Amino acid sequence: MTETLQPVRGTRDLIGDDHRRHLHVIDTARRVAALYGLEEWATPIFEDTRVFARSLGDTSDVVMKEMYSFDDRGGDSLTLRPEGTAGICRALVTNGLTQSLPQKVFYAGPMFRYERPQKGRYRQFHQIGAELIGPAEPLADAEIIACGWAILHALGIAHDVVLELNTLGDRDSRDAYRAALVQYFAAHQAALSNDSLTRLERNPLRILDSKDEGDRRIVAGAPTIQAHLTPAAAEFYASLKTHLTAFGVPFVENPRIVRGLDYYGHTAFEFVTSRLGAQGTVMAGGRYDGLVAEMGGPATPAVGWAAGVERLSMLLTDLPAPPRPVAVVPVGEAAEAPALAVLQALRQAGIRAEMAYRGNLKRRLERANRIGARAAIIIGEAEVARGVAQVKNLATGTQAEIALAELPTALR
């Protein structure tokens, strides 16, 4: 007996309601992003490995443990994209768009990370994202966050999500904060995990994001950045909060939200929910003013976010029903050709229409009910001779005679 092949661990098929939920999230985000002036870009699913090594940092867990990297037949190291922002910044530089700022970008597509599959998290997963490249003002941060909030509203899930906000300050703020963290964590070295001991030497801010329970107990007493903000950084953060309030976006402050790489600064935020267990972040982002330069471009301010389509899909409660089709039912061989003409006329008029390939009248009507058709267009030899069809409303059982040429108008 031939073995039945299964999807690779950490992947899944999107079929039926699962796929409708998936598309609904992306289509809704695409529509709302357009209202904010974002243009959709599509970048390759795989890139030169250096694109992600530069953007994520050589010591990050993603680069060290989770990337799907391989050498192609030419000996080049390529990587399936683990996130979308790096590719957008690479595309900005490659296509000479650093001279045409601002660029407001929306993207959607699959990403890949080798990690333990769990609820709402897969090895092939999907993200939507928004990037605002060029403006350095806090109003840009507020607008990109407001765009994300509007998408959550349009999906009908905003009531289940809380925006958590923090600042990473400017470089002087982070340098002072980093020194304070090193001093604090050095006093707790004996209790830190091995990963956090490595981070203590290279990037102590990343200890704040540790998932190790022992680390988290130590992190609870760590200093926050607020006491180390320069006046300029404090003013930026205050302006951001003022703008968010003006946009009508509610938030709570969470001083533990961090981004571990040097080119991240100022704004850091996450939209979180309590409905998905430990994997509660559904959308996250921040300001990354140094990433375009990492891709070989000039120093360019930028801010953005990414959201997991799978997690957003899990929060949906009301899924729009797909349009119900119309069933075309020929009776007798002479009605086949006219029925095909009706079938195509309906489709050309934007009406979803289907016709069974075989079967008598009873079986074809049974199939019409099985596919959820709203009406059956019955065409026999007598109807062909008179240029009409019998149109049966499958919800009420009522039937009316309509001219073939008028069917698209009557059924639209």
Half-sphere exposure (CA, 13 Å, Cβ side) for 303? 23
Residue 298 scores a pLDDT above 80: yes
Least Cα distance to 80 among 94, 64, 90, 66 occurs for 66
Backbone angles phi, psi at 31, to 5 degrees: -65, -45
CA 48 to chain centre: 23
Kindly indicate the confidence band of residue 198, based on its pLDDT and cuts at 50, 70 and 90.
confident
Residue 18 scores a pLDDT above 70: yes
Whether 135 contacts 301, CB under 8 Å: yes
Listed in sequence order, the residues at least 6 apart from 162 whose beta carbon sits closer than 8 Å to its beta carbon are 250, 251, 252, 271, 272, 273
Lowest mean pLDDT among 24-28, 70-74, 160-164, 359-363: 359-363
Question: DSSP secondary structure string, 218-260?
Answer: HHTTS--GGGG--HHHHHHHHHHHHHHHHTT---EE-TT----
Listed in sequence order, the residues at least 6 apart from 231 whose beta carbon sits closer than 8 Å to its beta carbon are none
Strand partners, 26: none
Peptide bond into 102 cis (omega under 30): yes
Question: DSSP secondary structure string, 157-186?
Answer: -GGGEEEEEEE---HHHHHHHHHHHHHHHH
At residue 215, the 3 state secondary structure works out as helix
Least Cα distance to 236 among 160, 324, 303 occurs for 303
Model confidence pLDDT, tens digit, residues 364-396: 889 999 999 999 999 999 999 999 999 999 989
Q: Map tokens 């389509």 to a residue.
A: 309
Whether 361 contacts 331, CB under 8 Å: yes
Whether 113 contacts 215, CB under 8 Å: no
Residue 58 scores a pLDDT above 70: no
Model confidence pLDDT, tens digit, residues 36-45: 999 999 999 9
Q: What is the pLDDT of residue 290?
A: 87
Q: What is the pLDDT of residue 202?
A: 81
Q: What is the pLDDT of residue 379?
A: 95
Task: Tell me how long the chain is.
Answer: 412
Q: What is the pLDDT of residue 120?
A: 72
CA 227 to chain centre: 35
Residue 1 scores a pLDDT above 80: no
At residue 115, the 3 state secondary structure works out as coil
Least Cα distance to 46 among 76, 19, 15, 26 occurs for 76
Domains of the chain with CATH codes: 17-170+230-315 (3.30.930.10), 326-411 (3.40.50.800)
Q: What is the pLDDT of residue 260?
A: 64
- What mean pLDDT comes out for the span 301-313? 96
How big is the CA angle at 209 (ends 207 and 210), to the nearest 5 degrees? 65
- What mean pLDDT comes out for the span 141-163? 97
How many angstroms separate the Cα of 117 from the Cα of each of 83, 213, 272, 373?
17, 20, 20, 38
Kindly indicate the confidence band of residue 62, based on its pLDDT and cuts at 50, 70 and 90.
low
Helix (H) or strand (E) holding 311: helix 309-315
Kindly indicate the confidence band of residue 63, based on its pLDDT and cuts at 50, 70 and 90.
low
Residue 320 scores a pLDDT above 90: no
- What mean pLDDT comes out for the span 107-118? 91
Whether 60 contacts 260, CB under 8 Å: yes
Model confidence pLDDT, tens digit, residues 154-196: 999 999 999 999 999 999 998 999 899 999 998 888 888 988 8
